[in-house]
Chains A and B, each alone.
Chain A
């Protein structure tokens, strides 16, 4: 079974400060890992995904994440927070099932950006 744990249900940062959202995964097979962002009352949007091609993954809106197998982590970072980054962020994991994909999501981290 695959799972992800997001540390911190709420994170607050000042505008211009580093954003760090933590995610640890558990997987019995090499995983595919994802970060999604959700704005209020909207669906989720894919920020980035790890597919084993490179350990440092760059996504949209200036976000990136680094896959660290030794730490079973896939933390999301952004050098400088912007007010528009305020949203809920979900880490997710999936095995590859040969055609379809069953993605398991974490419980989410709400990011507050303080002006």
Chain B
């Protein structure tokens, strides 16, 4: 069966520290992968999506970057965190041509 894993579940990081959040999908190949951020009262904002290894599209300019070093691995990174980077980060995937996503369980990031 197909599953998506996201870790860590929670993270507290000081301002200026680096960030690495990881997402992996099992049971499928060549998925589309997505990173969303959820801020209170603001819904979900699409940050990055990827249709293949090494192919990253950025939706909004920000302090974050994404990479896809392997087919089913999607990493969200930052060199120096800002307070405004706090939020709930969600990874999602679907197959090519599919409608709707499957979401991971999310990472709650608090920058202090």
Q: Which residues of A contact B (CB under 8 A)?
A: 9, 32, 34, 36, 41-46, 49, 51, 90, 94, 96, 99-108
Q: Which residues of B contact A (CB under 8 A)?
A: 6, 32, 36, 41-44, 46, 49, 51, 59, 90, 92, 94, 96-106, 108
Contacts A42-B105, A43-B106, A49-B100 aside, 8 further interface pairs with beta carbons under 8 A come to: A36-B103, A43-B6, A43-B103, A94-B99, A99-B51, A99-B97, A101-B101, A102-B49
Listed by A's residue number, 30 A-B pairs whose Cβ atoms lie within 8 Å are A9-B41, A32-B99, A34-B99, A34-B100, A36-B103, A43-B6, A43-B90, A43-B103, A43-B106, A44-B90, A44-B103, A46-B101, A46-B102, A49-B99, A51-B99, A90-B44, A96-B99, A99-B32, A100-B32, A100-B49, A100-B51, A100-B94, A101-B32, A101-B94, A101-B99, A103-B46, A104-B46, A107-B42, A107-B43, A108-B43
Q: What's the dominant secondary structure at chain A's contact region?
A: loop
- Flag if A90 contacts B41 (CB, 8 Å): no
Chain A residues near B98 (CB-CB < 8 A): 101
Q: A43-B104, A46-B101 are in contact. Are A100 and B43 (CB under 8 A)?
A: no
Chain A residues near B96 (CB-CB < 8 A): 99-100
Q: A49-B99, A99-B97, A103-B101 are in contact. Are A90 and B46 (CB under 8 A)?
A: no
Give Cα distance in the complex from A42 to B99, angstroms.
21
Give Cα distance in the complex from A45 to B98, angstroms.
15
- Flag if B100 contacts A46 (CB, 8 Å): yes
Chain B residues near A45 (CB-CB < 8 A): 103
Q: Which of B6, B59, B92, B108 contacts A41 (CB 8 A)?
A: B108
Min Cβ gap A25→B in Å is: 14
Chain B residues near A107 (CB-CB < 8 A): 41-43
Give Cα distance in the complex from A100 to B98, angstroms.
8
Closest A-B pairs by Cβ, 9 of them: A43-B103, A107-B43, A105-B44, A100-B32, A44-B103, A105-B43, A99-B96, A43-B105, A46-B100
